[in-house]
Amino acid sequence: MSLILVVLMPFLGALLPPILVQAGRRTCALGTLSVTVLALVGLVSNFPALLSGETVTARIDWLPELGLNVTFFLDPLGAFFASLILGIGCLIIVYGRYYLSRNDDMGEFFTYLLLFQGAMVGIVLSDNILLLLIFWELTSLSSFLLIGYWKHLKEGRQGARMALTVTGMGGLALIGGMLILGNIAGSYDLTEILQNREAIQSSDLYLPALILILIGCFTKSAQFPFHFWLPHAMAAPTPVSAYLHSATMVKAGIFLMARLWPVLSGSEAWFWLVTGAGLITVVLGAVIAFFKHDLKALLAFSTVSHLGLITMLLGTGTAFGAMTAIFHILNHATFKAALFMSAGIVDHEAHTRDIRKLGGLRHLMPVTATIATVAALSMAGIPLFNGFVSKEMWLEEALHTELFGPHWLVPALATFGALFSAAYSFRFIFHTFFGKTRDDYPSHPHDPNFGMWLPPAFLATLVVIIGCAPFLAEPLVKFVTAAVLGTTAEVPSYHLAIWHGLKPPLYLSGVAVAGGILLLLLHRFLQKGWDVTPRPEAKTIFDGIVGGAVWVARRVTCGLHDGSFTRFAAILVVFVVAAGAYAFVTGEAGMGSRVVYPPTAVAVATWAMLVAATGFLVFKHRNRLAALILIAIVGLIVSVGFAYFSAPDLAMTQISVEVVTVVLMLLALNFLPQETPVESGAGRRLRDGLIAVAGGVGAGMLAFYMLVRDFVESPISEYHLANSYKGGGGTNVVNVILVDFRGFDTFGEIIVLGIAALVIFALTEALMGGPVRARLLNREPQTRLAGDRHPLMMVVLTRVIMPVLLLIGIYIFLRGHNLPGGGFIAGLVVAVAIVQQYMASGFAWASDRQRYPYHGIVGAGVLIAGLTGIGAWFTGHEFLTSSFTYIKLPLLEEFEVASAMGFDLGVFLAVLGAVLLSLESFSRMARRAHDTDNEHAMDIDPSRGTTNEGGA
C-alpha cells in the first residue's frame, strides 16, 4: 500500500466513529480498530522492500520551486516508530472500548484518537520537513483534544491547555530551527538534509538551529526544564495517557532527535545540551515519582525520567548510545503502556488511584496484579525483564561519559536515578497490590473483563519474552540502529544478552536494586521529609508566566485600541507614515527618467479650484450641507481630471456616481443634525491637523515619485491592448477588460454591490420595525419645508427628459464595447433618470408606477451575467470566455453581436437595481405621519383646477 494511503488512512477513518457509534459501542470500536489494522497492514506490506534494503518513497509534487512537496519515505527507523504507533494503537482501542463508560461519547473519543494517530504516523514517515512540521503541530492540537476529552473536569481543561501551550511553543521554535536547517542544506527533504552533515555542522547557523530544534524536541518529550506539562496531562482518560505517554506523543521528540542524529550529533553543543538535559531529567523525574501518591502521577514522572534516559543516550553521540536508545524505546513502550493500562484498571475498579487508599489488591485482582508486577519489575530493571537489559547498557554507556567535570559524576548520577527508579517501581507494586486486603476501598475491586486486561497482558508477555531472550530483538534493534546512524558510524558488534559477566554495570545495577528496596522500607520517613521541604511548584510558575503575558497583552492591545475609532485611526496613520518615512530615508529615491508634461494654465486653474474646495471643506465642514456641496465640487474636478488624462469611461462613471452619492447623502442628512458642534479643543485640532498634513505629504510624495518614473516591467495591459479586438471583439479596451479579460472580477463586484444594496434594505427594514419607527413618524422637520412639494416646472421637465435619458442610457450601453460607455455607466445614468421622478413627483407616486421590485432587478442582473458566463461552457470554453460574430440584417449595416453584451446587460441591471434599492430604502424613512401621500404627480395641476393638496 502506498505510504500516502497509510498516512491518510487514520485521517479518513476519523470520520467513521461518530457515524458508527449510532450502531452501538461495539461497532464503533470495531470500525476504529479495523481502520488502524488496515493502516498497519498497509505499513507491513512495505516491509519486504524494506528488508531487501530499499527505501520506500511516495511523492506528490505541489510547489516544487519552493520545495513544498508531499513526500514520504519509509526507512527502518520510520517503520519501527510507525509500527509502535499503530500496534499499540490497536491495543489502546480495544482497551478504550471497555474503559470508557456509557456517559462518554465514544465516537468523539475515537475520532480524536485516530486524528492523533494519523498525525503521529505522518511525523515518522514524512520526508519533507515542512510536511513533518505540519504533522507535528497536528499532534499538539489533537493531543489537546484528547487530554481535555473530559471537558467537565477543570484539571483536564487546564492540563490540556498547558500541554498545548508548552508543546505549541516548542513547535514554533522547531519551525524556526527546521527552516534554518533546510536553508543550510539547500533542501527541505530529510533524505537530502541527512547527506549534508559537514555543511550543517560547519555553518554559523548550526547552533541557533540546534537550540531551536532541541527546544521543540524537549518540550514534546518533556525534558527538563519543560517536563512539567506531562504530569498535568494525566487528567486525560487512561487510554489517552497510555497511548500518548508511552509510545507516541512524547516519543516524537525522541524520534526527531534520532532522525536528525547523523547531522546534528557529535558536536560539543549537542553533547552538553542533550546529555545534560537528559541526565537532569532522569534524576529529577525519578525522585519526584517516588513521592507521588497518584498512580498515574507516579507513572508520569517515571515516564519523564525514562525519556531523560533515552535523551541522554542520544546525547552521548556514540553508536552504542544510539543502539541502546532504540532498544530502550522499544522496552519502555511495552512496559509503560502496560503499566498505564494497569493503573487505569485499578482506577476503573477501585474508583481511586490514590496509592494511600490502595493495597492488598493482589487477592482481589490477581490478573491485573500479575501484569502490573511484571511490567513494574521491568521498569525497576530486574533481570529476566526487558528493562534490565537496556538499563544495563545505559549504565555501561554512562560509565564512559564525562560531563560537568569528574569522571565518576555521570555514573553516580545515573545510578542514583536508577536507584529511585527501582524504588518507585517497588512502591507501585507493594503499596498497590501487596499488604493486607482493606475493606475501605471506594468500590469493590475485582479483575475486569477480558477485553480490558488482554492488551496489557499481551505487552507484559512481550516484556518477558524480550527480557528472557533479548537476542530475539537484536536483529530489529540493529536494523533500526543502522538507519539512525546512517553513514556516520558502524553498528556496534555488542550482543543483547542478560549475562555479560561480572562487570561494573552489573554492580551498579545491584546497588540500584538494593538501594531501591532500602528506600521503599524507609518510605514513610522520607515522605514526611519530602512533604515539609519547600519546592518550586511548576504549575504556579507556569500560571504566573501566562498571567503576566495576558496582563501585558491586555495593556498593549487596549492601550492601542481602547474602543475609540478616532484614536485607532490616528495611530494607524502615524504608524503608516512613520514606516513610509523610514523606508524613504533609508532607501534611494532619485528623480525618475520619465518625461513629464509641462503644466498648462487650465490645469493650474483646476488644481487651484480643487485646493480651494478642499480647504473650504476642511474649515467649513461643520455646516453639513455646505460640506456636501463642496465634496460634490471635488468629485466634479476629479472627473474632469479623468477626462483630461485619457480616461473617458472613468469620467463618465465618476460624474454619474457623484449624482447618486449626493442624492443619497442629502436623504441621510435629512435625519441628522445639520451642524457638527465644536467639541475638540484647539490642541486636539492642531494635533489632527499635523497628522493629516503628514499623511497628505506622504501620499503626495509617493504619488509624485511613482509618476516621474517608468514602469519597471512592461505592463500586462500590453496584452490587453493587443488582444482586445482580436480576442474580445471590442475596441474600448477598458470595457473589454471589464466584461472579458477580468470578467470574473467584475462578476464578483456586481455581486458585492448587490449584497451591499440588500444590506441597506435589510438594515432599513430592521430600523423601521423597531422603536425608531415611532420616532421617525413623529419627527418634526428641522427646517421649514418648501411650500411647493412637487413643483410643476420640475415635474414637467423630468417627465419630458425621462425618455431622452433612457435613450442616452441605451445608447451608452450599446456602444460600450467599442466606445466609452458600457453597463456600469448606463446603469448609473438610467438610475439617475428614475431618481429624478422620485424627487419631482414624490415617493408614493413614483413607487406606484414601479412594476419590478429592485431586488429582482439586482438578482436578474447577477443571474444574467452568470448565465452568460456559463454559456461559454457549451462552446467548450472556460467560464466567462466571450465569443462574438458579425451579423448582416437587411436594411442595416453589418454589426457585431458579442456574448459579452449579455454579461454587460447583467452588469447594467445589477448596478441599476442596487443604486435604486439603496435610494429607495433611504427615502422610505423620510415618510412622516402627518403627511399624506400625494395622489397626484403635481401639487398644482391646471387640469384639476386650483386645489392645493399637501404642502406645508
Partner 1 sequence: MELLVASGIGVLTAAGIYLVLRLRTFPVIIGTAMLTYAVNVFLFASGRLTVSAPPILMDEATRYTDPLPQALVLTAIVISFGMTAVVVVIALGAYLGSDDDHVDEQGGALDAVRKLEKAE
Q: What residues from 396 to 455 belong to the interface with partner 1 (CB under 8 A)?
A: none
Cβ-contact 125, 9 below 8 angstroms: no
Q: What residues from 576 to 595 belong to the interface with partner 1 (CB under 8 A)?
A: 594
Smallest gap, in angstroms, from Cβ of residue 706 to partner 1? 6
Cβ-contact 133, 174 below 8 angstroms: yes
Smallest gap, in angstroms, from Cβ of residue 892 to partner 1? 23
Interface with partner 1 includes 700 (CB under 8 A)? yes
Nearer to partner 1, 480 or 912 (CB): 912
Q: How many residues does the chain have?
A: 952
Interface with partner 1 includes 666 (CB under 8 A)? no
Q: What residues from 370 to 389 belong to the interface with partner 1 (CB under 8 A)?
A: none
Stretch that binds partner 1, among 516-524, 717-725, 781-789, 889-897 (CB under 8 A): 717-725
Query: Of the candidates 199, 211, 399, 610, which one interacts with partner 1 according to CB under 8 A?
Result: 610
Nearer to partner 1, 43 or 664 (CB): 664
CA distance 255 to 77: 8
Interface with partner 1 includes 870 (CB under 8 A)? no
Name residues whose C-beta falls within 8 Å of residue 173's C-beta, 6 or more positions apart in sequence. Answer: 212, 213, 215, 216, 219
Smallest gap, in angstroms, from Cβ of residue 762 to partner 1? 9
C-alpha cell belonging to residue 404 = 560537568
Q: What residues from 877 to 916 belong to the interface with partner 1 (CB under 8 A)?
A: 911, 914-915
Q: What residues from 831 to 860 belong to the interface with partner 1 (CB under 8 A)?
A: none
Cβ-contact 122, 11 below 8 angstroms: no
Interface with partner 1 includes 922 (CB under 8 A)? yes
What string of H, E and C letters represents the secondary structure of 339-359? Answer: HHHHHHHHHHHHCCCEHHHCC
Interface with partner 1 includes 64 (CB under 8 A)? no
Q: Is the dihedral of CA 899, 904, 909, 913 positive or negative?
A: positive
Residue with cell 509617493: 702
Interface with partner 1 includes 772 (CB under 8 A)? yes
Interface with partner 1 includes 679 (CB under 8 A)? yes
Name residues whose C-beta falls within 8 Å of residue 845's C-beta, 6 or more positions apart in sequence. Answer: 933, 934, 935, 936, 937
Smallest gap, in angstroms, from Cβ of residue 507 to partner 1? 58
Nearer to partner 1, 677 or 945 (CB): 677
Query: Of the candidates 310, 319, 650, 846, which one interacts with partner 1 according to CB under 8 A?
Result: 650
Q: What residues from 619 to 648 belong to the interface with partner 1 (CB under 8 A)?
A: 621, 624, 627-628, 631, 634-635, 638, 641-642, 644-648
Query: Of the candidates 344, 360, 816, 820, which one interacts with partner 1 according to CB under 8 A?
Result: 820
C-alpha cell belonging to residue 767 = 430600523
What string of H, E and C letters represents the secondary structure of 66-124? Answer: HCEEEEEEECHHHHHHHHHHHHHHHHHHHHHHHHCCCCCCHHHHHHHHHHHHHHHHHHH
Query: Of the candidates 536, 673, 683, 769, which one interacts with partner 1 according to CB under 8 A?
Result: 673
Nearer to partner 1, 579 or 697 (CB): 697
Interface with partner 1 includes 782 (CB under 8 A)? no
Smallest gap, in angstroms, from Cβ of residue 754 to partner 1? 9
**Amino acid sitting at position 375:** A
Of 431, 209, 447, 206, nearest in space to 342 by CA: 447
Query: Of the candidates 532, 601, 682, 716, which one interacts with partner 1 according to CB under 8 A?
Result: 716
Query: Of the candidates 352, 614, 847, 883, which one interacts with partner 1 according to CB under 8 A?
Result: 614
Interface with partner 1 includes 928 (CB under 8 A)? no
Stretch that binds partner 1, among 222-230, 428-436, 712-720, 870-878 (CB under 8 A): 712-720
Q: What residues from 459 to 478 belong to the interface with partner 1 (CB under 8 A)?
A: none
Interface with partner 1 includes 693 (CB under 8 A)? yes
Query: Of the candidates 731, 778, 782, 850, which one interacts with partner 1 according to CB under 8 A?
Result: 731
**Amino acid sitting at position 6:** V
Q: What residues from 183 to 202 belong to the interface with partner 1 (CB under 8 A)?
A: none
Smallest gap, in angstroms, from Cβ of residue 3 to partner 1? 46
Cβ-contact 914, 753 below 8 angstroms: yes
HSE, side-chain direction, 13 A CA sphere, residue 822: 27
Interface with partner 1 includes 611 (CB under 8 A)? yes
Stretch that binds partner 1, among 16-24, 282-290, 485-493, 819-827 (CB under 8 A): 819-827
Q: Is the dihedral of CA 796, 797, 798, 802 positive or negative?
A: positive
Of 787, 803, 796, nearest in space to 840 by CA: 796
Query: Of the candidates 126, 653, 798, 837, which one interacts with partner 1 according to CB under 8 A?
Result: 653
Query: Of the candidates 413, 665, 829, 833, which one interacts with partner 1 according to CB under 8 A?
Result: 665
Of 761, 804, 716, 802, nearest in space to 918 by CA: 761
Stretch that binds partner 1, among 265-273, 531-539, 866-874, 917-925 (CB under 8 A): 917-925
Number of residues that bind partner 1 (CB under 8 A): 127
Name residues whose C-beta falls within 8 Å of residue 339's C-beta, 6 or more positions apart in sequence. Answer: 299, 372, 375, 376, 379, 428, 456
| DSSP states of 596-637 | PPPPPHHHHHHHHHHHHHHHHHHHHTTBHHHHHHHHHHHHHH
Q: What residues from 127 to 166 belong to the interface with partner 1 (CB under 8 A)?
A: none
Of 149, 131, 144, nearest in space to 188 by CA: 131
CA distance 135 to 137: 5
Smallest gap, in angstroms, from Cβ of residue 550 to partner 1? 10
Query: Of the candidates 151, 567, 928, 944, which one interacts with partner 1 according to CB under 8 A?
Result: 567
Largest CA distance in the chain: 131
Nearer to partner 1, 211 or 701 (CB): 701
Cβ-contact 506, 411 below 8 angstroms: no
Nearer to partner 1, 347 or 649 (CB): 649
Q: What residues from 738 to 767 belong to the interface with partner 1 (CB under 8 A)?
A: 738, 742, 745-746, 749, 752-753, 756-757, 759-760, 763-764, 766-767
Of 916, 749, 755, nearest in space to 831 by CA: 916
Nearer to partner 1, 384 or 574 (CB): 574
